[in-house]
Chain A
């Protein structure tokens, strides 16, 4: 009938009518799915890792290029000190990225390339501290702190248990309250 709303029509004419989801409800659900998907897409695009490597720096050999990117992530940019040279747009970072790639092409190992830069700029340039005698404490400190905490907890709870055992239990006298 002309006067009835499409909602009513759908409900009566559609074979599933009373039980399944109406077309309107389905449309609404689809819209929510689409906008949800769009939102997720936006979030993931924004999370995509950014880097400052320019096309003219990229090496032809993909294996070497990947090593160069990895080393770049481990070297600190001196002008923008909280960034790696892989992330930083500073001119010095670009120079260092080029040098890293040159040394890789010349055949240096990853550690040799990092050492080359550290020899000139100091260990501060390593974002991952070297594992050496003087940095051993730096590396082990978290593990030591955990062991210390666990040991402390162990001794504390054992102490509590001992207190429990030596504290005299209530004797029967306390239970005999005079009847009023």
Chain B
């Protein structure tokens, strides 16, 4: 069996797992992200952590849990991040709440000027039959649609969300005939944690963004990306 070559010293599996769990500080996370960006072997290792793992059940213990905890345990049992890939409403389950790393740099803004026009992201929140545009808050059972504004032409657009240092892709990457506030196919819900969620639309000039790279690129360094953050409405 031959070993793929790391560009320097490999990032250990323990460090990668802690990084994926959001348990590393800012400096350590940046160091890992920087190495992974340039090392195919470690990038492959990090990507392999996405595979859902089925755990054996543990014997029941303690008093009966409430409906929310039982529901959350059901979804979390399939692994770290579970995505239901469908064109309809997607249920996004991210890790339980964990303090965000200190000194977290700001993601790209919701609107940026690009060659030929503007790149922008807008969210539409639907709750109980009523909709709200440009929401800054979310509640349980909210459903979100993503609207993208981009200069005339065609672009491949991907949507990435980050919460508690965990990243996921709630919608399929899709081709878009650009215009003003074009709705992407699909919608998603945020559940499992009430930490703030940053939603980014990535729309490169050419081609499609590499999701493996997107997972490890610090948000401020995302190219051709616009982001908006929503917080839990208490």
Q: Do A and B bind each other?
A: no
